[in-house]
Each structure stands twice: as structure tokens, then as C-alpha cells.
Amino acid sequence: MEKIAVVGAGAWGTTLALLLAGPDRSVLLWEKFPDYARQLAGERENVKFLPGFELPENLDVTDDLALAASAPAVVLVTPSFACRETAGRLAAAGCRGPVLVATKGLEAGSGLRMSQVVAEAMPGVAWSVLSGPTIAREVAAGRPTAAVCAGPDEKLNFFFQDLFSTGHFRLYTSADAAGVEFGGALKNPLAIAAGIVEGLGLGDNAKATLLCRGLAEMARLGTALGGQERTFFGLSGLGDLITTACSPQSRNHRFGVAIGGGQPIEAYLKGQESVVEGYHSARPALKLAAGAGVEMPIVSQVAAVLFEGKPPAAAVRELMGRPLKAE
């Protein structure tokens, strides 16, 4: 079989490439920066994003996007802010798909889900999306994990389900791409909020309260924009929220803890190699919520902390002081 291409050599992209590189299949991993692509190919380890995991012989590394575009299937794992540009370049290079969109986020400005971005940038290309509670290092280490593949083409969902499922990675399918993507995107700013609560030392009661009410926000907006309510209580909603909001390996959680502990936001972000997606998703989420007439008080306070200089403790006080009502 021809090489499956994984476009994006961050921690998650490298992990998905490792999953795909089975005994009867080879993989092409695309890295944007030529110098680092050569380093990956030479050292056979992603020391920057996924240290400690050897790249097998049947996993090749390239910085040639046209080569990745020629693969029979492409897994797109760029940061959300690079999704449109990269998808457009794939299309220009002749990529005919299918594409599995494994990026979780919302496009700045438009608020579009990543599959919508791909559909615009790659007209006519078939796609599915991948989401769920997937800490990269745990998946790479072979720890039991389940995720969900969703999209309008049931046969394509089954194709990717068969392609990725292993003895430790179990993939479910769904027709609700909107719900799956909103779950994967909206949990990120909520995970920042949970980290802030932890950084402030407010305790487990406060964190549990925030996660429950955050899940309600996620479901309100997601269903208003076409998702199915049940999806938000599955792997890509509740499952991903728990993992991202609680795991010390979660970038969004660590970011929130740092903010709650008093670390300056810009200084923290400048020191990170990996992208904190919740930082980029908060404002598009609020724009979508305003257009749909949906309240998102927790995400609103997260945005006020991130972009308006609001002290985290003041944001918590304002949430606790909201008018009382039925659950």
C-alpha cells in the first residue's frame, strides 16, 4: 500500500503517525520546517514534541508538502490557525483526499470548524474528523484510549476506523461531525478555566462545579449550531473535557494553572513550543455564541482574563455572583 501522509509533526501528529506505521503499512510524516524535518529523519525521535519514542523504519519524514499531497489518504494535524493555509496548499498540490481532520479548534474570525475550513479550502475532497480524550504521550505509550471518527460519509468513517484501530486505540464512528468538533474545540477554553481554578487553590468542589456548568455551555452552543445533544456526553464532549481539564499533560490545563498562579500570560505563551488551542478558540466561540443567542459565562470570563487583563480571582467572583436560578 502507498504511504499514508500525516501533515503536522507536533506531538499528536507524530503519535498518529506511530499508530499508522503498522507492520504492513508505511507512513509519511510532514514537518513544515526543513531543518527540523532533517533532524527528525536523522535522530528518529521527535525530541521537541514527543521525546522518548523512536520513529520506526517504515515512517519517513519530509518537508515536501506536494509529496504528502500525493498520498492515498491524508491526516491533517496542523494547529487551527494554520489549517486553512495548509489545506489550500494541499489542494494546490493536487491532493484528492480523503482527509482525516485531527485538529481541534475554531478558525479565528470566521468561527468555522476545521472540517468547514477544509471543505472551503479543498472543494470536493471527502473528509472525516477525529476527536476525543487523547493525550498524545499516553496513546504513543500504548495505554488504552478511545476516540471518535465523525463525518457525513459513513463508509469513509469506517475506513478511518479500520485504519487506526489497534489493541490499545479504539475508534468509534458518528455521523455528528458538528457535535464532535464543537466538543473538541470548546473543551479547550473550559480546560483553561479549570486550570485557573486549580492555580488559585480553590479546591475540587469549585473545579467540579466549573466542569459541570462548562459542559452545559458546550452543549448549549453546540446544539444551537447543529450538533446533537447526546454527542456532548460522549468521548468528544465530556470525555475530552475531563481529560483536558484534569491531566497535567494537557497544555490548556497547564496554561490555566500558570495563570491562576500569577504567571504573565504572554510570557508563558512565548515559552511554549506547542500551541495552546484554548487561547485561540475562546474569542471565536464567543462570537458564535453571540450570533446564536447563547450564554457562555465561563468562556466569557476566560476571554476577559486572557485578553482584557481581568484578574482570575475577580473572574471567579463574578461567576459566583451571577443571579441564582434553577439548574
Show which residues are catalytic: 187
C-alpha 50/C-alpha 34 separation (Å) is 18
219's grid cell: 452543549
Q: Is 184 helix (H, G, I), strand (E, B) or coil?
A: helix
C-alpha 187/C-alpha 257 separation (Å) is 16
**Smallest Cα–Cα separation from 113: which of 54, 71, 176?**
176
| Secondary structure tally for the chain: helices H, strands E | 15, 10
Per DSSP, what are the bridge partners of residue 60? 28
162's grid cell: 479500520
Neighbouring CB atoms inside 10 A of 197's CB total: 26
- What's 1's DSSP letter? -
Could you tell me whether strands 127-131 and 59-62 are parallel, antiparallel, or unpaired per DSSP bridges?
unpaired
C-alpha 300/C-alpha 197 separation (Å) is 15
- Report DSSP letters for 219-263, one per residue: HHHHHHTT--GGGGGSIIIIIHHHHHHH-TT-HHHHHHHHHHTT-
Per DSSP, what are the bridge partners of residue 100? 75, 128
C-alpha 155/C-alpha 96 separation (Å) is 17
